[in-house]
Amino acid sequence: MPSSRLPSSPAPTSPVEPMTPANPAQPSDAQQLRGHHLRLGYDGADIVGDLCIDIPPGKITVLVGANACGKSTTLRALARLLKPRGGAVTLDGKAIHEMPSKQLATRIGILPQTPTAPEGITVADLVCRGRYPHQKWFRQWTDEDERVVAWALEATGTAEIAGRAVDELSGGQRQRVWIAMALAQETGILMLDEPTTYLDVHHQIDVLDLLVQLNREEGRTIAVVLHDLNLACRYAHHLIAMRKGEIIAQGEPSAIVNEELVEAVFGLKSKVIPDPVSQTPMVVPIGRHLRF
């Protein structure tokens, strides 16, 4: 593995580096993931009626929206975990439902919102499973697999718990193990559904910084669902705001996030001011009560 992939925590040259690089590295191939007129649902009515969505290659896309608006449903369809009732998802122009599963798994990795681990599995074994798409019938496990797993554990701060059972971990530890597994898959497109839920604030920033590193240094395409609007504005090159199964705004956070949008998406009054650290929009909610 090239050393650039190894986790690094060098002293920053300035107190805070720009978090949304103007010129992220170009992806090695087009990595164009696109949903065309998607109609998505489960048993009853459609959740998503007619959604066209592009995940821009080589960028960090963040999806935001109220609970139950269809973010996870959309992400799952883009990763072929959910079959569309109508429309299609294409990767580089080819319908993903026609691609062999293992081939697709080398291109798109997804960390679902509520993944489930086999009972009793250890951290190391779970992360090793991320390498499955890379294994050949004639050669099961390679030094490269070993290196990538070690890197993924290190990058997520889970190396020291590698021998523990996943179901004995805290919520935040478990979340980082799942992120390690997704990283071990080494896909050009990485989708993560609320990866920072359960994480303390330090680990939230670590995970998002790691995504920036993967994007900048390797040109990986990242699509992530976040509930923290301020972190979404800091880390997204491209922000997609959803409401009731539709995209109601998308673009660079500074161009689209304002008090009207926050109210339209969340039904919440707020003040939007510049984040003093990143200068990106910072949403300060106005509740009904103050302590004083």
Ligand X SMILES: Nc1ncnc2c1ncn2[C@@H]1O[C@H](COP(=O)(O)OP(=O)(O)OP(=O)(O)O)[C@@H](O)[C@H]1O
Binding site for Mg ion (CB under 5 A): 72, 113
Burial class (CB in 10 A: 0-12, 13-18, 19+), 11: exposed
Distance CA 275, CA 14 (A): 17
Residue 232 binds ligand X, judged by CB under 6 A: no
Smallest distance from ligand X to CB 62, Å: 13
Distance separating alpha carbons of residues 288 and 103, to the nearest angstrom = 51
Binding ligand X (rule: CB under 6 A), the pick from 61, 72, 173, 185 is 72
What is the CB neighbour count within 10 angstroms for residue 189? 22
Based on the shown chain and the rule CB under 6 A, indicate whether residue 35 belongs to the binding site for ligand X: no
Annotate each residue in 75-114 with x if it binds ligand X (CB under 6 A) or - if it does not, as one string: --------------------------------------x-
Told to check if 196 binds ligand X by CB under 6 A, we report no
Residue 119 contact partner, candidates Mg ion, ligand X, none, CB within 5 to 8 A by sort of partner: none
Question: Shortest approach of Mg ion to residue 161 CB, angstroms?
Answer: 26
Q: Are the beta carbons of 226 and 64 closer than 8 angstroms?
A: yes
Stretch that binds ligand X, among 15-23, 42-50, 139-147, 215-223 (CB under 6 A): 42-50
Cβ closest to ligand X, residue 31 vs residue 204? 204
133: three-class secondary structure by DSSP: helix
Shortest Cβ distance from residue 192 to Mg ion (Å)? Answer: 11
User: What is the number of the residue whose Cβ is closest to Mg ion?
Assistant: 72
Q: Does 73 bind ligand X (CB under 6 A)?
A: yes
Q: Which does 270 bind (CB under 5 to 8 A by kind): ligand X, Mg ion, none?
A: none
Partner touching 176 among ligand X, Mg ion, none, CB below 5 to 8 Å by kind: none
Q: Is 42 in the site for ligand X (CB under 6 A)?
A: yes
> Is the separation of the CB atoms in 104 and 96 below 8 Å?
yes
CB closer to Mg ion, 72 vs 187? 72
Q: Which residues of 89-118 are buried (b: 16+ CB within 10 A; e: fewer)?
A: bbbeeeebeebeeeebbebbbbbbeebebe
- DSSP states of 162-173: TTSBGGGS-HHH
Here the contacts of 265-274 (C-beta below 8 Å, separation 24 or greater) are 265/64, 265/65, 265/66, 265/241, 266/66, 267/66
The least CB distance from residue 224 to ligand X, in Å, is 12
- Of residues 52-71, those binding ligand X (CB under 6 A): 65, 67-71
106 binds, among ligand X, Mg ion, none (CB under 5 to 8 A by kind): none
Residues 6+ apart with CB under 8 A from 240: 53, 61, 62, 63, 64, 247, 249, 250
Helix (H) or strand (E) run with residue 269 in it: none
With CB under 5 to 8 Å by kind, the binding choice for 67 among Mg ion, ligand X, none is: ligand X
Distance linking the first and last C-alpha atoms of the chain: 56
Residue 51 tokens read as 């959604």
Residues contributing to the site for ligand X (CB under 6 A): 42-43, 47, 65, 67-73, 113
